[in-house]
Amino acid sequence: MTKKIVIVGLGLIGSSLALAVKKEHPKVTIIGIDIQEASEEFALKRGIIDERGAELQEAAAEADVILLCSPVEVVKKQLTELSSCILKPDVIISDVGSTKKEIVEAAEQLRLDSFIGGHPMAGSHKSGVTAGDERLFENAYYILTPNQNADSKKVNALKELLKGTQAKFVTLEPEEHDQITGMLSHLPHVIAAGLVNQSKVFNEKHPRARQLAAGGFRDITRIASSDPEMWTDILLNNKEILLDLITGWQNEMDQVSQWLKNGNQEAIFQFFYEAKETRNQMPIHKEGAIPAFYDLFVDIPDVPGVIAEVTGILGKRELSLINLKILETREDIFGILQLTFKRKEDLEKAKETLEKETAYLCYEK
């Protein structure tokens, strides 16, 4: 009998999971549910799903696996709905939420012992069902946070189902997950958003700053471009941990301010030295709490058709871009084309191809 997988939420993560599951297990039937009918229609037309689901309760009754790919607050409501459904005895329920403690606790309170918390640490600049990518999770960490009563056989069965993601599975306690992602992902997003908002006020007084921000400042604040609705949801569901982390950050900045006021050269040097040493010990080009992206910069002349030429060359090699920007921060050349790739190997192939087929200078930073 063919297994039925219900995926609720056909955005970037849900559609990508559907593609990855289907790749490894072509005989499963994937039923997709989304609040937007257009997303369901697109997913069905493109073969991302096999069937459109009706109501959650109806689809869940025949499901062997249910993957909730919705925002955290929505997932909690869906768990409540599932708790009143008649489900298969061996059903597996999981989610992809960026916070885990509240979701796992909700499942426990609802006595959904079949629930296994999940969080694939992968993302993209793109969103929605049209951005689905079966390689999105490749080499990324996929965190699992089973509740106290979870069956180890079901945990292994979920890993087997998700084998096509080619992700690296890690099991954590829900609170530890939230503490780690709070420090390595949630706090950096808050800081990046704060820097960008502060620069907006600054730019009003110094218009030239907007042009100069297109370089390194734009790169280090890249994550501020994330979905504001999603991040509001994440912050409110990891509130206590984030409040502690923000307090710690504020204390750190207060200390730096004090050193500046006192002209404490030694303390300031040590501050930067320790940061440098710690960062240098971090793994290079590994997937982590914030998805890694790889940028290739191409010096291009100011002539018609040059961008089409570059993207056409990459298209012939089937090298997929996740972002493209034209930078104009340097005045000694006509322009810089910034090409962003999801994988390091794609960047390297692009660099080799463009250097071979064009006279443009290509380089990484």
In a domain, 286, yes or no: no
Same domain, 39 and 67: yes
Single out the residue of 326, 349, 329, 102 nearest to residue 215, CA to CA: 329
**Across the chain, what does the average pLDDT equal?**
88
Give kind and range of the element (H or E) at residue 325.
Answer: strand 323-327
pLDDT of residue 20 exceeding 80: yes
Same domain, 141 and 199: no
pTM of the full predicted structure? 0.81
Residue 93 pLDDT exceeds 90: yes
Q: List, as one string, the DSSP characters of 349-363.
A: HHHHHHHHH----EE
CATH code for the domain of 94: 3.40.50.720
Same domain, 161 and 47: yes
Of 60-64, 95-99, 230-234, 299-303, which gets the smallest average pLDDT? Answer: 299-303
Sign of CA dihedral 101, 104, 109, 110: positive
- How many domains is the chain built from? 3
CATH number where 201 lies: 1.10.3660.10
pLDDT, average across residues 335-344: 80
Residues 148 and 189 occupy one common structural domain:
no
CATH number at residue 331: 3.30.2130.10
**Host H or E run for residue 142:** strand 141-146
Q: How far apart are CA 179 and CA 22, in angstroms?
A: 33
**Among candidates 298, 285, 293, which has minimal Cα distance to 363?**
298
Alpha carbons 258 and 262: distance in angstroms, whole number: 6
pLDDT > 70 in the chain, percent: 93
Strand 294-300 and strand 335-341: the pairing is antiparallel
Is there a domain that residue 58 lies in? yes
User: Does some domain include residue 91?
Assistant: yes
Helix axes 344-357 and 306-316, enclosed angle (nearest 10): 120
Q: What is the pLDDT of residue 331?
A: 47
Average the pLDDT over 245-272 and give the result. 97
Is residue 119 one of the residues assigned to a domain? yes
Judgement on whether residues 213 and 188 belong to the same structural domain of the protein: yes
Asked if residue 289 belongs to a domain, the reply is: no
At which of 280, 315, 333 does a domain end?
280
Spatial contact of 289 and 185, defined as CB atoms under 8 Å apart: yes
Residue 277 CA: distances (Å) to CA of 120, 273, 283: 29, 6, 13
Q: Is residue 16 domain-resident? A: yes
CA distances from 95 to 79, 169, 181 (A): 10, 14, 16
The b-or-e profile of 123-152 (16+ CB within 10 A means b, else e) is bbbeeebebbbbbbbbbbbbbbbbbeebee
Q: Are both 144 and 235 inside the same structural domain?
A: no
123 near 12, Cβ under 8 Å? yes
Confidence of residue 289 (pLDDT cuts 50, 70, 90): low
Residue 288 lies in a domain: no
The answer, yes or no, to whether residue 81 has pLDDT greater than 60, is yes
Query: Which residues are within 8 A (CB) of 216 and not within 5 positions of it... i.e. 6 or more apart?
Result: none
Q: Is the pLDDT of residue 286 over 90?
A: no
3-class DSSP string for 30-74: EEEECCCHHHHHHHHHCCCCCEECCCHHHHHHCCCEEEECCCHHH
Q: Point out the domain boundary residue: 172, 197, 223.
A: 172
Do the domain assignments include residue 337? yes
Q: What is the pLDDT at residue 125?
A: 60
143 has pLDDT over 90: yes
Tell whether the model's pLDDT for residue 15 goes beyond 90.
Answer: yes
Q: How is residue 316 written in tokens?
A: 């012939």
Last residue within a domain, chosen from 113, 140, 172? 172
Domain span at residue 150 reads 4-172
The model's confidence at residue 31, banded by pLDDT at 50, 70 and 90, is very high
Q: How confident is the model at residue 95 (pLDDT cuts 50, 70, 90)?
A: very high
Give the span between the Cα atoms of 87 and 62, in whole angstroms: 7
Shared domain for 32 and 165, answered yes or no, is yes
- Structure confidence at residue 275 (pLDDT): 93
Residue 72 has pLDDT above 80, yes or no: yes
pLDDT for 117: 96
**pLDDT tens string 174-230:** 999 999 999 999 999 999 999 999 988 888 888 777 777 666 777 788 888 888 888
Give the per-residue pLDDT at 290: 67
The pLDDT, as a whole number, for residue 308 is 87
Nearest to 95 by CA among 106, 84, 86: 106
Same domain, 274 and 156: no
Identify the pLDDT of residue 206: 84
pLDDT of residue 285: 54
227 shares a domain with 158: no
Both 264 and 152 in one domain: the answer is no
Residue range 246-256, pLDDT digits in tens: 999 999 999 99
Q: Are residues 115 and 34 in the same domain?
A: yes
Looking at residue 3, its pLDDT comes to 93
> Where does the pLDDT of residue 316 fall: very low under 50, low under 70, confident under 90, or very high at 90 and above?
confident
Residues 17 and 102 reside in one and the same domain:
yes
